[in-house]
Amino acid sequence: MLKYALLGFLSYQSLTGYELEQHIRASTAHFWHARLSQVYMTLKELEADGLVASVVELQESRPDRRVYSLTPAGQAALHTWLAAPLTERSLAKDPLLLKVFFSAAAGKDALLRQLRIQLDLHRQQRTVYSGDLPGMAAELVASDPKLQVDALLWDAVRDFGARYEDLYVAWLEETIQKLERDFPATS
Amino acid sequence: MLKYALLGFLSYQSLTGYELEQHIRASTAHFWHARLSQVYMTLKELEADGLVASVVELQESRPDRRVYSLTPAGQAALHTWLAAPLTERSLAKDPLLLKVFFSAAAGKDALLRQLRIQLDLHRQQRTVYSGDLPGMAAELVASDPKLQVDALLWDAVRDFGARYEDLYVAWLEETIQKLERDFPATS
DNA sequence: TACGCCATGTAACGGGTTACATGATTCA
DNA sequence: TGAATCATGTAACCCGTTACATGGCGTA
């Protein structure tokens, strides 16, 4: 799956592994992420499959860069993937919810501590979406009007992320309240 | 992580691998799932680590069952895990959002087809939560009042799932409308 | 002086999926 | 007659994480 994310970014411009990881972190991280080491490995596999090609750019006073670009075969693979319909829901895995599910045995205090930490984290993440991300897309469109549709989709996906954090924050707040009221104090 | 889910279920009662998979499917599937084969493998590892123990029950006219139960060491491992606070957000991976992100090149029709399929799936999933799941928890509590707190948490987690599907459905509906309006027809 | 950024990678390991293999019973 | 349920497992593979290894430049 990461393969396609990389092909997707490379369909806009040629990039190094390092830059690809930064793009991921800046835009898709809330629904798809990867470690740098995995990005490098995956690029190597893509090149072995002929879907990308690389050129080394020598730099003085900085490490050399290996710049990857999409081959015609890569372009084709990307389009094939985009055209193939997903006929199932995406299945989520959330360690926090798993833990909460079994936390009756953990005791009231431990569970509430847990949830308050998460509340902090999700409140923080929510601000990421209200920041200048919408503006970033707008700028790109201004610089290249061909990207108008692309920006529309980037925005839609970013909006999903914002709503997801809203949901998470609201659920945590309400669950904390409910537990303060109804979870008997650990004796 | 699946390890702890299994320990968690076994802390209520002894179960076979087959039954454990059914429990997962019935209660935690929307935030943690596993294939049967993985359940069997993981149980074997847990037994090797001394966290569970198994007894074979011979059955006539049905395959024999291997029934697993929690050992004291398993109980301890579960409690240690429950007590350890999660200090990071759970990171999501959603293939649909990834695809949407890059779908400008896919064309209006292909994308809308895609989103409508997902809308069906998520509307269907939403009905799962409005079904008799809350009742199920209530019944268990009636049969054993000690499980009152447990049921409270099961309910909270189920509620998260319901809200998540609500969010997904709303986002899909609005995104489809937006695209019908603003995505120029593929020529 | 030490931390963060730029920039690349390898190796060991862990977790999870898919496919394969078996076989009786019950219900439509 | 064929599909679903009960019931167990193995083997190959794939994807991803963690830890290791290197090293110069800019800045606080």
CATH classification at residue A33: 1.10.10.10
Q: How many CB atoms lie within 10 A of CB B50?
A: 12
Q: Would A90 be classed as within a structural domain?
A: no
Domain of B76 in residue numbering reads as: 2-83
Examine the pLDDT at B137 and tell me if it is beyond 80: no
pLDDT of residue A145: 85
Residues of chain A with C-beta less than 8 angstroms from the C-beta of B126: none
B78 at A interface, C-beta within 8 A = yes
Mean pLDDT of chain A: 93
Same domain, B158 and B113: yes
Residue of higher predicted confidence among B128 and A164? A164
Mean pLDDT of A103-121: 96
- Please check whether residue B111 is in contact with residue B103, taking contact to mean a CB–CB distance below 8 angstroms: yes
Examine the pLDDT at A137 and tell me if it is beyond 80: no
Mean pLDDT of A1-8: 98
Q: Would B90 be classed as within a structural domain?
A: no
Q: How confident is the model at residue B134 (pLDDT cuts 50, 70, 90)?
A: low
Q: How confident is the model at residue A136 (pLDDT cuts 50, 70, 90)?
A: low
Count the domains in chain A: 2
Return d(Cα A102, Cα B8) in angstroms, integer: 6
Same domain, B176 and B109: yes
Contacts of B58 (CB under 8 A, 6+ apart): B64
Same domain, A48 and A112: no
User: Does the CB of B66 fall within 7 Å of any strand D atom?
Assistant: yes
Selected for mutation to probe chain A from B2, B31, B128, B168 (highest A CB count within 10 Å) is B31
Same domain, A58 and A101: no
pLDDT of residue A166: 97
pLDDT of residue B84: 95
Q: Cβ B5–A82 below 8 Å, yes or no?
A: no
B164 CA – C16 C1', rounded, Å: 24
Q: Would B187 be classed as within a structural domain?
A: no
Identity of the amino acid at A27: S
Model pLDDT for residues B84-109, shown as the tens digit of each residue: 999 999 999 999 999 999 999 999 99
Return d(Cα A159, Cα A172) in angstroms, integer: 20
Q: How many CB atoms lie within 10 A of CB A132?
A: 10
Last residue of a domain, one of A27, A62, A83: A83
Give the distance, in angstroms, between the CA of residue B167 and the centroid of all CA atoms in the same chain. Answer: 17
pLDDT of residue B99: 98
Last residue of a domain, one of A83, A116, A146: A83
User: Does the CB of B2 fall within 7 Å of any strand C atom?
Assistant: yes
Mean pLDDT of B56-69: 83
Same domain, A62 and A129: no
pLDDT of residue B133: 59
Same domain, A160 and A128: yes
Element (H, E) at B99: helix B95-101
Model pLDDT for residues A67-93, shown as the tens digit of each residue: 999 999 999 999 999 999 999 999 999
User: Does the CB of B127 fall within 7 Å of any strand C atom?
Assistant: no
Mean pLDDT of chain B: 93
Residue of higher predicted confidence among A66 and A58? A66
pLDDT of residue A187: 65
User: Does the CB of B1 fall within 7 Å of any strand D atom?
Assistant: no
Q: How confident is the model at residue A135 (pLDDT cuts 50, 70, 90)?
A: low
Q: Over the Cα atoms of chain B, what is R_g? A: 21
Last residue of a domain, one of B32, B49, B83: B83
From chain A residues 35-74, the ones with a CB under 8 A of any chain B CB are none
From chain A residues 101-130, the ones with a CB under 8 A of any chain B CB are 101-106, 110, 113-114, 117-118, 121-122, 125
Same domain, A101 and A152: yes
Pick the range with the lowest mean pLDDT from A26-30, A57-61, A172-176: A57-61
Q: Cβ A101–B8 below 8 Å, yes or no?
A: yes
Q: Cβ B32–A156 below 8 Å, yes or no?
A: no
Return d(Cα A99, Cα A117) in angstroms, integer: 14
Which residue lies nearest C11, CA-to-C1' measured? A37
A181 at B interface, C-beta within 8 A = no
A85 at B interface, C-beta within 8 A = yes
Same domain, A70 and A103: no
Helix (H, G, I), strand (E, B) or coil at B5: helix
Model pLDDT for residues A35-51, shown as the tens digit of each residue: 999 999 999 999 999 99
Q: Would B89 be classed as within a structural domain?
A: no
B62 CA – D6 C1', rounded, Å: 7
Mean pLDDT of A57-66: 79
Helix spans in chain B (H): 2-10, 17-23, 36-48, 72-83, 95-101, 108-130, 133-143, 148-182
Same domain, B99 and B178: yes
β pairing state of B65-70 and B15-16: antiparallel
Q: Would B144 be classed as within a structural domain?
A: yes
pLDDT of residue B87: 93
A41 CA – C11 C1', rounded, Å: 12
Same domain, A105 and A79: no
Q: How confident is the model at residue B142 (pLDDT cuts 50, 70, 90)?
A: confident
Q: Provide the whole-model pTM.
A: 0.94
Q: Cβ A95–B150 below 8 Å, yes or no?
A: no
Out of B5, B89, B96, whose CB is closest to A90? B96
